[in-house]
């Protein structure tokens, strides 16, 4: 049976609902959870006709992403605490979240990745991509998809 779940969260309402269900599931099977938030890399600023497109400094961007990560991890941690589930918190920075999800699951020796799927289909899925689909395609660790 599963003993250590990786729960990647992204701050969406669906991710929060998945956090509740993952905590319930972990409580039922007596498993622990590693909460993961993947922060985006600082976007490279581009100049066009002499105008800076993104005036945010790397420091401001880092502060903002840390605040967002902390807020979302705190919400998921409160859910785990309420369910009586032991958990750890982990953050990484990358523009390729699916790779971080898989590598974190491997490094933390998780035996299940529990993640939400927004259920995008068709052209939206092609344009926006699906981190869940990429994890399903590349992970050797079982993945439970919550929708």
**pLDDT score of 90 more than 60:** yes
pLDDT of residue 121: 55
Q: Which residues contact 69 (CB under 8 A, 6 or more apart)?
A: 37, 39, 91
Residue of higher predicted confidence among 141 and 52: 141
Q: What's residue 19's pLDDT?
A: 98
The CATH architecture assigned to 4-146 reads 3-Layer(aba) Sandwich (3.40)
Q: Which 3 state secondary structure label does DSSP give 36?
A: strand
> Mean per-residue pLDDT for 15-29?
97
Distance of CA 54 to the CA centre of its chain: 25
Work out the angle at residue 69's Cα, subtended by the Cα atoms of residues 102 and 119, and round it to the nearest 5 degrees.
55
- If one counts every other C-beta atom within 10 angstroms of the C-beta of residue 49, the result is 4
Which comes out higher in pLDDT, residue 128 or 12?
12
Q: Give 43's contacts (C-beta < 8 A, 6+ positions apart).
A: 54, 61
Between residues 144 and 128, which one has the greater pLDDT?
144
Return phi, psi of residue 126, to 5°.
-65, -40
C-alpha 80/C-alpha 96 separation (Å) is 26
pTM summary value: 0.88
Residues in Cβ contact with 51 at an 8 Å cutoff, skipping those fewer than 6 apart: none
């Amino acid at each position: 049976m599963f003993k250590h779940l990786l729960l990647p969260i992204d701050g969406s309402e669906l991710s929060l609902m998945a956090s509740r269900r993952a905590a319930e599931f972990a409580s039922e099977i007596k498993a622990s959870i590693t909460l993961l938030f993947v922060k985006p890399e600082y976007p490279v600023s581009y100049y066009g006709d002499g105008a800076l497109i993104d005036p945010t400094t790397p420091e401001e961007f880092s502060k903002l992403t840390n605040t967002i990560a902390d807020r979302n991890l705190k919400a998921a941690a409160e859910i785990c605490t309420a369910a009586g589930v032991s958990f750890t918190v982990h953050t990484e920075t990358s523009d390729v979240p699916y790779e971080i999800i898989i590598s974190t699951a491997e490094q933390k020796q998780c035996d299940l990745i529990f993640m939400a799927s927004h259920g995008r289909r068709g052209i939206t899925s092609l344009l926006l991509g699906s981190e869940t689909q990429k994890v399903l395609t590349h992970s050797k660790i079982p993945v439970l998809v919550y929708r």
